[in-house]
């Protein structure tokens, strides 16, 4: 799981152009959206949906589903581990 | 200030090539929205037939066709150096991205040349409010004395480029769109061209009184939660509106969750909840660069006929404010209407139209 | 009137760190928006109350190419997974929105496309924009991006008095 968490952090940093950030800067359990944590927005949710499909073959139908999955890197990693198709 | 009149209109749409035909389609609920299977995901759109077309640019072709109709109705010779051209589009020839110079400027120059115009065009590209911003630009050119007549042309053709983008934003509906409805779930792309000739000569009863463009200063793709820009654009017009003569507000009504809610909030803040509201995108989809001009042309005709047109796709109010959405056609004595639009980049626009005494 | 330029090919990330540094959304922008953002920083950095919301300032951005450079980036993602983050920048006016969001400019914003840089026409259009009775000043820019590394980028901060004199 730790390996997947680290992999996800790297992919999120790259996909969302989080300039200057390293995996160490992202707390596994910190919220990705909202004013705390990474402060990501609605376009970032959509880009993360693409990230899941591209890398793990997971298709989310709506941004609302995404908001659940993208609560934190730890939640995201659990979801990916349980649902990945590649 | 110079008064500005609309002296000619032209349209090219999937539901008809005259304002009257489009008006009848809206009135009777005859929609051009169809399910298309092209590309990796299906989508519902209102598209023009390309049968028999073999020119270099379908986009420029429909823009020129709509422009010629408007010029003809206005009885205007386009080569006159006192006639200006404003083009409204978002993506122009983007479907030819791999092959051509797709600059909107190059398209505008070719459209001007095809029409035989002698003055250099300007393109206004303000996302989904482009058509309204282009009309406002045309009004300003007349008021500035730069021209005696300005041809304003808006056009959009759909392509994998645009459709895939809206799919990636999860903004498209797989059913005909339902503006302001509780079950709305997205927009439908539409193709159309629409043109107006604006003039300082009072050859028509329809006056474009004034307009405003305002930014939400909030988010590049999400509408403001307080309707800031849309409200501010409306606020600019309110002192000019004769409330007892205001027939309706023709809203943007894309049928995305956030747009329609935002417009409802803006209408509430502007004190316009008692005014009938309608949206036309359930008939011909979101025609993007053409929308502001096309929807204004249909709205002028509706006022001429004394009706508030129905909002196809609407049945149960699905916004937080009690907006008076016209589900059915209603009679009106009104002689003014407001056209309202919003778009990416946080832009919002409002334009006031008024029908004066007979010419 | 104040006038600033950014030379073609300049290191925009370095310029951002020098001029702003507190706005990570910068790195998500396309090059057109980055240039608009930085030009405006250069124009208004020392204004008093610069982040107070205001409706009296317009943002008017002119170009020939619009956002064609970013259109090509987005089109390159079409073959497999279209990128929503690139798609939202495929509109010539997003740069005006980014400037408005950063500086809380709630006034008119507009993107114009001209066939070439034409000083006379550009300033005629700016003058016409001041027909809006609320507009008292404007950020005016010519930003023409041929690619991510080649552009013309200059901007002016103008007032109603300067334009209508």
pLDDT tens-digit map of B19-57? 999 999 999 999 999 999 988 899 999 999 999 999 999
The confidence score (pLDDT) of residue B264 equals 98
ipTM of this complex prediction, to 2 decimal places: 0.98
CA dihedral B276, B282, B288, B289 (to 10 degrees): -70
User: Does pLDDT of B100 surpass 90?
Assistant: no
pLDDT band, residue B357 (cuts 50/70/90):
low
Q: Do the domains at B4-199 and B206-355 have one common CATH topology?
A: yes
In the block, tokens 């000739």 appear at: B197
Structure tokens at B315: 């049945």
Q: Does C76 contact chain B (CB < 8 Å)? A: no
Residue B271, sorted as left (phi over 0), alpha (psi -120 to 50) or beta, turns out to be left
- Residues in C closer than 8 angstroms to B238, CB to CB, are none
CATH of B206-355, one of 1.10.10.10, 3.40.630.10, 3.40.47.10, 2.70.180.20: 3.40.47.10
Burial classification of residue B100, based on how many CB atoms lie within 10 Å of its CB (0-12 exposed, 13-18 middle, 19 or more buried): middle
Give Cβ neighbours of residue C156 (< 8 Å, ≥ 6 apart). C1, C2, C3, C4, C43, C139, C140, C141
Q: Degrees (nearest 5) of the Cα angle B73, B198, B196?
A: 55
Residue B345 contacts residue C91 (beta carbons within 8 Å) = yes
Structure tokens at A45: 């949710």
- Classify domain B4-199 at the CATH class level: alpha beta
User: Does pLDDT of B340 surpass 60?
Assistant: yes
Burial classification of residue B181, based on how many CB atoms lie within 10 Å of its CB (0-12 exposed, 13-18 middle, 19 or more buried): buried
Q: Does B168 contact chain A (CB < 8 Å)? A: yes
Structure tokens at C79: 């073959």
Q: What is the DSSP string of B330-358?
A: EE----EEEEEEEEGGGEEEEEEEEE-S-
Nearest to A19 among C24, C80, C83 (CB): C24
Chain C interface with A: residues with Cβ < 8 Å:
13, 24, 26-28, 80-85, 88
The confidence score (pLDDT) of residue B101 equals 85
Using the beta-carbon criterion (under 8 Å), do A43 and C88 form an inter-chain contact? yes
Residues of chain C with pLDDT under 50: none
Q: Does A63 contact chain C (CB < 8 Å)? A: no
DSSP 8-state symbol, B321: S
Residue A60 contacts residue A48 (beta carbons within 8 Å) = no
Using the beta-carbon criterion (under 8 Å), do B345 and C97 form an inter-chain contact? yes
The confidence score (pLDDT) of residue B278 equals 98
Q: Does A23 contact chain B (CB < 8 Å)? A: no
What is the distance of C-alpha C112 from the center of its chain?
A: 11
SS3 B9: strand
SS3 B283: helix
Q: What is the DSSP string of B147-181?
A: -SEEEEEEEE---HHHHHHHHHTT-B-SSS--TTB
pLDDT band, residue B359 (cuts 50/70/90):
very low
SS3 B240: helix
Q: How many CB atoms lie within 10 A of CB B40?
A: 11
Query: Using one digit for the tens of pLDDT, what is the confidence trace for A53-65?
Result: 999 999 998 888 8
As a whole number of angstroms, the distance between CA B5 and CA A73 comes to: 58
Q: Does B271 contact chain A (CB < 8 Å)? A: no
As a whole number of angstroms, the distance between CA C27 and CA C12 comes to: 10
The confidence score (pLDDT) of residue C64 equals 97
Find the CATH number of the domain harbouring C50: 3.40.47.10
Query: What is chain B's mean pLDDT, rounded?
Result: 97
Query: Using one digit for the tens of pLDDT, what is the confidence trace for A11-50?
Result: 999 999 998 899 999 999 988 887 777 778 889 999 999 9
- Give the structural domain span for C71: 2-163
Q: What is the DSSP string of B190-220?
A: B-EEEEEEEESS--SSEEEEEEEEEE-SS-S
The confidence score (pLDDT) of residue B358 equals 43
Q: Which helix (H) or strand (E) holds B68?
A: helix B58-74
As a whole number of angstroms, the distance between CA C136 and CA B343 comes to: 24
DSSP 8-state symbol, B244: G
User: Does pLDDT of B322 surpass 70?
Assistant: yes
Rounded to an integer, the average pLDDT of B343-347 is 98
Query: Using one digit for the tens of pLDDT, what is the confidence trace for B208-231?
Result: 999 999 999 999 999 999 999 999
The confidence score (pLDDT) of residue B277 equals 98
pLDDT band, residue B290 (cuts 50/70/90):
very high
Total tally of structural domains belonging to chain C? 1
Residue B11 contacts residue B18 (beta carbons within 8 Å) = yes
**Chain B interface disruption, residue of C70, C86, C128, most B CBs within 10 A:** C128
Q: Where are the beta strands (DSSP E) in chain B?
A: 5-12, 34-36, 43-45, 83-88, 122-124, 149-156, 192-199, 206-215, 246-250, 276-278, 307-308, 324-325, 330-331, 336-343, 347-355
As a whole number of angstroms, the distance between CA B96 and CA A67 comes to: 36
Nearest to A47 among C13, C27, C84 (CB): C84
The residue extents of the domains of chain B are: 4-199, 206-355
Q: Which chain B residue has its CA at the smallest distance from A66's CA? A: B170
């Amino acid at each position: 799981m730790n390996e997947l968490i680290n992999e996800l952090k790297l992919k999120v940093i790259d996909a969302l152009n989080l300039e200057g950030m390293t995996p160490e800067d992202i707390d596994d359990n910190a919220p990705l959206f909202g004013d705390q944590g990474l402060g990501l927005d609605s376009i970032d949710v959509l880009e993360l949906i693409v990230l899941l499909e591209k890398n793990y073959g997971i298709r989310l139908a709506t941004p609302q589903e995404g908001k659940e999955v993208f609560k934190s890197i730890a939640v995201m990693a659990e979801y990916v581990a349980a649902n990945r198709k590649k | 200030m110079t008064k500005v009149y609309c002296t000619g209109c032209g349209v090219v749409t999937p539901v008809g090539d005259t304002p009257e035909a489009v008006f009848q389609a809206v009135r009777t609920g005859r929609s051009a929205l169809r399910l298309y299977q092209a590309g990796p995901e299906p989508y519902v759109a209102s598209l023009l037939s390309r049968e028999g077309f073999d020119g270099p640019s379908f986009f420029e072709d429909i823009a020129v066709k709509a422009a010629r109709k408007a010029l003809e109705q206005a009885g205007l010779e386009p080569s006159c150096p006192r006639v200006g051209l404003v083009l409204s589009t978002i993506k122009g020839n983007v479907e030819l991205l791999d092959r051509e110079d797709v600059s909107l400027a190059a398209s505008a120059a070719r459209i001007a040349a095809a029409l035989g115009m002698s003055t250099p065009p300007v393109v206004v590209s303000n996302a989904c409010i482009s058509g309204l911003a282009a009309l406002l630009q045309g009004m300003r050119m007349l008021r500035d004395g730069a021209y005696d007549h300005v041809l304003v042309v808006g056009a959009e053709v759909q392509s994998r480029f645009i459709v895939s983008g809206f799919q990636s934003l999860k903004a498209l509906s797989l059913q005909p769109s339902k503006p302001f409805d509780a079950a709305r779930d997205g927009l439908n792309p539409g193709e159309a061209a629409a043109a107006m000739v604006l003039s300082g000569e009072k050859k028509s009863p329809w006056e474009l009184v004034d307009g405003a463009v305002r930014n939400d200063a909030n988010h590049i793709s999400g509408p403001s939660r307080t309707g800031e820009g849309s409200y501010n654009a409306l606020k600019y017009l309110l002192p000019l509106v004769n409330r007892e003569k205001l027939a309706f507000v023709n809203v943007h009504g894309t049928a995305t969750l956030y747009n329609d809610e935002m417009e409802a909030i803006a209408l509430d803040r502007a004190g316009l909840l008692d005014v009938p509201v309608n949206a036309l995108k359930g008939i011909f989809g979101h025609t993007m660069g053409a929308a502001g001009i096309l929807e204004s042309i249909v709205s002028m005709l509706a006022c001429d006929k004394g009706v508030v047109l129905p909002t196809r796709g609407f049945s149960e109010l699905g916004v937080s404010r009690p907006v008076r959405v016209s589900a059915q056609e209603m009679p009106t004595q009104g002689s003014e209407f407001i056209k309202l639009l919003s778009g990416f980049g946080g832009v919002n626009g409002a334009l006031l139209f008024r029908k004066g005494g007979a010419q | 009137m104040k006038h600033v330029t950014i030379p073609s090919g300049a290191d925009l990330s370095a310029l951002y760190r020098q001029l702003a540094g507190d706005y990570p959304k910068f790195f998500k922008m396309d090059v057109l928006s980055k240039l608009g953002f930085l030009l405006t920083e250069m124009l208004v950095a020392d204004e008093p109350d610069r982040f107070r919301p205001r409706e009296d300032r317009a943002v008017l951005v002119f170009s020939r190419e619009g956002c064609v450079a970013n259109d090509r980036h987005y089109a390159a993602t079409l073959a497999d997974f279209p990128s929503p983050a690139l798609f939202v920048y495929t509109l010539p006016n997003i740069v005006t929105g980014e400037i408005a969001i950063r500086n809380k400019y709630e006034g008119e914003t507009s993107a114009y496309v001209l066939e070439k840089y034409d000083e006379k026409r550009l300033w005629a259009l700016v003058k016409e924009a001041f027909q809006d009775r609320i507009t008292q000043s404007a950020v005016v820019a010519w930003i023409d991006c041929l690619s991510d590394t080649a552009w013309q980028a200059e901007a002016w901060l103008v007032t109603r008095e300067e334009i209508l004199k």
